């Protein structure tokens, strides 16, 4: 789809689109985006009109069956994926497993899956379990992010990376890595969990083979919103999913006893789509009628840059854990402090919401759709106050909460 020109986005309108509790500085949209204001009423209406009145007939009459493709195409617009190459469903961990299984089948002679130590644990766990199930002696090779490029060679079956590091925000060079991977015959899988809706990504232009991502972070789809998977056009009609549910079948309602993959991206569906979650996600995606990803990424670079400068000026005792160059990072910024946990809990108690990641990372996500300059200055001031309180001396922060 053709994108509007730079400067199209009206950030006042996009801020209005969301509900945020008064007085809250919300810098955790990289974990869970806020509620779109119109969502509760739209979802009530849709439930009453479709589930309420049409019941089972809604699968066809309200087109619930094709919703995973429609919503997939809307996400595709944000990541450079042509129509018909993205489908929504399941959770991201499941989509990682599915992409990796399909990718391994494309490179049967090779035994190495290359990834990096900045990858999200769930991605690594899914890969470990899959390799064990396949039982052909594959090895998951986990190297530091800076060594990925040097480790790409003709022994590697699959390169599986998260583009933006969930802790530091460090961003991989997707175009360069895809090019080298392709020259070595390596299949690529990109996890866009911290990229989609935050920075500009071009999965088809950069020649990625597979991409996956979740929709409850920068896409604001809500808690437990479904994930998505992209498969490049060149391989979409030949990939074999390791998870073959009835809705990925070429004719689900023939109820054939054996599996025959559906056409194109349909084969990456598994079971019944999460219809209610898809409604919510679809409402949240309406904000992109008011914004372009180019403008959002540009504004995020400005906000994170001014946050870094302000924190370094005001709180010299904490150390930047993110790349300094905005082009080399995503939309969140992290700082290290040995007592980061207690400091972050204090910030949260004072209504500045970021999060903590082991062992010492304080993470602040900036989502320009609803975060502006005011959020930057409040967060800097409150951070200074929180450190001055020396909250680590207090008993109540000695034990970690269940969700950090």
CB 208 within 8 A of CB 183: no
Active-site choice (191, 209, 282, 295): 191
Is 398 one of the annotated active-site residues of the chain? no
Is 390 one of the annotated active-site residues of the chain? no
In the range 207-226, which residues lie near ligand PLP by CB under 6 A? 214
Is 363 one of the annotated active-site residues of the chain? yes
Interaction between residue 204 and ligand PLP (CB under 6 A): no
In whole angstroms, how close is the CB of 183 to ligand PLP at the nearest point? 26
Dihedral sign of CA atoms 392, 395, 398, 400 in order: negative
Element containing residue 76 per DSSP (H, E): helix 67-79
Interaction between residue 243 and ligand PLP (CB under 6 A): no
Interaction between residue 193 and ligand PLP (CB under 6 A): yes
Do β-strands 210-213 and 228-231 pair in parallel, antiparallel, or remain unpaired? antiparallel
Which stretch in 79-87, 150-158, 190-198, 360-368 sits in contact with ligand PLP by CB under 6 A? 190-198
In the range 99-138, which residues lie near ligand PLP by CB under 6 A? 120, 122-123
Interaction between residue 93 and ligand PLP (CB under 6 A): yes
CB 148 within 8 A of CB 184: no
CA angle, 248 then 254 then 259, to 5° = 45
In whole angstroms, how close is the CB of 355 to ligand PLP at the nearest point? 12
In whole angstroms, how close is the CB of 123 to ligand PLP at the nearest point? 5
DSSP designation for 173:
-
Active-site choice (217, 269, 299, 329): 217
Return the residue of 67, 85, 98, 162 that touches ligand PLP, per CB under 6 A.
162
CB 311 within 8 A of CB 336: no
Burial of 403 (0-12, 13-18, 19+ CB in 10 A): exposed
CB 36 within 8 A of CB 220: yes
Interaction between residue 199 and ligand PLP (CB under 6 A): no
Give the catalytic positions in this structure: 120, 191, 216-217, 363
Binding site for ligand PLP (CB under 6 A): 91-93, 120, 122-123, 162, 166, 191, 193-194, 214, 227
């Amino acid at each position: 789809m053709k994108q509007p020109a730079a400067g199209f986005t009206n950030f006042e309108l996009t801020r209005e689109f969301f509900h945020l509790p008064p007085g809250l500085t919300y810098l955790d949209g990289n974990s869970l985006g806020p509620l779109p204001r119109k969502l509760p009423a739209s979802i009530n209406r849709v439930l009453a009109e479709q589930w309420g009145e049409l019941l089972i007939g809604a699968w066809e009459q309200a087109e619930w069956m094709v919703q995973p493709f429609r919503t997939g195409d809307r996400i595709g617009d944000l990541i450079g994926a042509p129509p018909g190459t993205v489908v929504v469903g399941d959770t991201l961990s499941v989509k990682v497993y599915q992409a990796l299984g399909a990718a391994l089948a494309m490179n049967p002679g090779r035994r190495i899956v290359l990834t990096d130590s900045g990858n999200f644990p769930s991605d690594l766990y899914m890969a470990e379990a899959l390799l064990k199930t396949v039982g052909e002696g594959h090895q998951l090779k986990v190297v530091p992010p800076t060594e990925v490029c040097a480790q790409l060679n003709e022994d590697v079956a699959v390169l599986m990376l998260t583009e933006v590091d969930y802790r530091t925000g460090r961003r991989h060079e997707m175009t360069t890595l895809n090019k080298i991977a392709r020259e070595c015959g390596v299949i690529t899988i990109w996890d866009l969990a911290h990229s989609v809706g935050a920075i500009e990504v071009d999965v088809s232009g950069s020649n990625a083979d597979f991409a996956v991502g979740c929709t409850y972070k920068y896409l604001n789809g809500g808690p437990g919103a479904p994930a998505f998977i992209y498969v490049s056009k060149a391989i979409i009609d030949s990939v074999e999913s390791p998870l073959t549910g009835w809705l990925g079948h070429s004719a689900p309602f023939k109820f054939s006893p054996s599996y025959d993959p559906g056409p194109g991206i349909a084969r990456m569906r598994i079971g019944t789509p999460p219809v209610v979650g898809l409604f919510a996600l679809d409402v949240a995606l309406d904000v992109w009628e008011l914004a372009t990803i180019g403008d959002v990424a540009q504004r995020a670079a400005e906000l994170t840059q001014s946050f870094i400068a302000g924190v370094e000026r005001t709180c010299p005792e904490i150390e930047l854990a993110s790349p300094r160059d905005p082009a080399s990072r995503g939309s969140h910024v992290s700082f290290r402090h040995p007592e980061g946990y207690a400091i972050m809990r204090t910030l949260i108690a004072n209504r500045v919401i970021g999060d903590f990641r082991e062992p010492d990372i304080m993470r602040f996500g900036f989502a320009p759709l609803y975060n502006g300059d005011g959020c930057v200055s409040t967060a800097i001031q409150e951070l200074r106050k929180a450190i001055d309180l020396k909250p680590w001396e207090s008993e109540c922060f000695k034990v970690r909460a269940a969700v950090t």
